[in-house]
Structure 1
Amino acid sequence: MTSPHPLDCPAWSALSERQSGFALAHGGARRYDPAYGVFAAIGDRSAASLAGLAALVAEHGDVALLEVSPPTDAPGMAVASQDIGVQMVATGLTAGPPPDFEIVPLGDADAPEMLALATLTQPGPFFDRTHQLGDFFGVRIEGQLVAMAGERMKPRGFTEVSGVCTHPDHRGRGYAGALMRLVAARILDRGETAFLHAYASNRDAIALYETLGFAVRREILMTRLTRG
């Protein structure tokens, strides 16, 4: 029997292995500690695993699943929303000009600004400690953090590029592309494959990612589950 691909259920792969230290587990279910993320997964479709997922939702709040065919009829849970997305991978990057602005590493001291920027721009789920899941970089203009990108889920052999956002007053200047190229290049230099997720309806973002060297691997559903 062929083992499932790590990206078919990236949260399960990440929380079972490389990012197990960020996991809350109940039976056959795992989720990121809500200070870090909202994603969750189950190891199988058994009643025990589904009950474990329901218990994690009841105790720690809503979760999101990134899977091709997520469970939607689990006892104790209800679907809050479901959106079609695409999963994209890059094994190499297209050549690009060097940025004519400074890119700086971001860390705990920058966390309040990072959360504020993500809250304003809504690049995807971002919480108090999301920045601790991987390396983040940003662009500051006159001291203000105006753009950032970093790493999130880390399944076996892969690292996700995430948290990509630019303040509305500073868009169109190449910040997002340069930041993504840096983050993805560092992933590739480690011998891993870079990947990311985007809503299928966000054609402008997908077009940007394709110019950097990302290609669509498959469609994937983002399903938010809440207490039923």
Structure 2
Amino acid sequence: MNALLDRPIWSALATRQAHLGEGAGLARRYRAGILPLAAIGTDDPQALADLAALAQPGETLIFLMADPIVPPPGFEVLTAAPAVQMIATNVPVVAPDEAIVPLGESDAADMLALATLTKPGPFSLKSQTLGRFWGVREGKTLVAMAGERMKQPGFVELSGVCTHPDHRGKGYARRLSLHVAAQITEAGDRPYLHAYAVNSAAIGLYEAIGFTLRSPMHVAALRKPD
């Protein structure tokens, strides 16, 4: 399987999302205010030095890769956990779902509020610069959403899947995941996604809609000393 996905943050910022990032040498990150995701191209000392120079004092950056994460000297590991990367192998074709609507700039505040409540992963008011998002509203309330995050040649990550706690059990996560996967596929890319290894409910959902395990992953939040 394509090695681009072994270091998805790095490969996204080195290719299709280079315009959303910054960095030099063997370290790259999304611009401040978009996402606190960063990556190194290799694990050698020069890459770690490039990363140390890229982070701001006191700043926390999140890393996601197949190889074990090596912190630069002096960086504090705030959290570290195993994750999984799954890729679409047989996503079923579904009929259009009238309840699912595109989300735009006017929805950004509602999207951030829902993400802050449900914590599907790093999210900001500028997350829509990464890709398309869709959601479900009940009345005026945004109760569920999902969208696109990292992009590499031939691949797009399905991300930001979340449902308001008061509206769970209605199948919104499944319906939105299928919808976004279909949109990615129709655009000519292959959907993939990430989940924490302990999140068996999410993994089971994704398996049920045609995703299979591609690789175990490592995720960590590292803080640069002040």
Report what 1:65 is aligned to: 63
Tell me which of 203, 206, 209 is aligned to 1:206: 203
Cα distance, 1:154–1:59 mapped onto 2, change above 3 Å: farther
Q: Which moved more, 1:79-88 or 1:27-36?
A: 27-36
Q: TM-score, normalised by structure 2?
A: 0.93
Tell me which of 14, 17, 32 is aligned to 2:15: 17
Asked if structure 2 preserves the Cα contact closer than 8 Å seen for 1:31 and 1:40, the reply is yes
In structure 1, the gaps of 5 or more residues are none
The structural deviation recorded for 1:155 is 1.6
Asked if structure 2 preserves the Cα contact closer than 8 Å seen for 1:40 and 1:64, the reply is yes
The structural deviation recorded for 1:33 is 1.2
* Corresponding residue SS for 1:153: strand
Find the aligned partners of 1:83 and 1:104 in 2 and give their Cα distance: 34
* Corresponding residue SS for 1:18: coil
In structure 2, the gaps of 5 or more residues are none
The structural deviation recorded for 1:59 is 5.4
Find the aligned partners of 1:23 and 1:98 in 2 and give their Cα distance: 34
Report what 1:142 is aligned to: 139
1:110 maps to amino acid: D
The structural deviation recorded for 1:45 is 2.4
The structural deviation recorded for 1:97 is 6.2
Find the aligned partners of 2:183 and 2:106 in 1 and give their Cα distance: 22
Find the aligned partners of 2:150 and 2:27 in 1 and give their Cα distance: 16
2:153 pairs with 1:153: no
Asked if structure 2 preserves the Cα contact closer than 8 Å seen for 1:136 and 1:151, the reply is yes
Cα distance, 1:124–1:170 mapped onto 2, change above 3 Å: same
Cα distance, 1:92–1:191 mapped onto 2, change above 3 Å: farther
The structural deviation recorded for 1:162 is 0.4
The structural deviation recorded for 1:186 is 1.1
Find the aligned partners of 2:51 and 2:93 in 1 and give their Cα distance: 43
The structural deviation recorded for 1:68 is 2.1
* Corresponding residue SS for 1:105: strand
Give the paired residue count: 225
Question: Where has structure 1 moved over 6 Å in runs of 4 or more?
Answer: none
Asked if structure 2 preserves the Cα contact closer than 8 Å seen for 1:70 and 1:223, the reply is no
The structural deviation recorded for 1:124 is 0.8
Find the aligned partners of 2:2 and 2:90 in 1 and give their Cα distance: 23
Q: Which moved more, 1:71-80 or 1:161-170?
A: 71-80
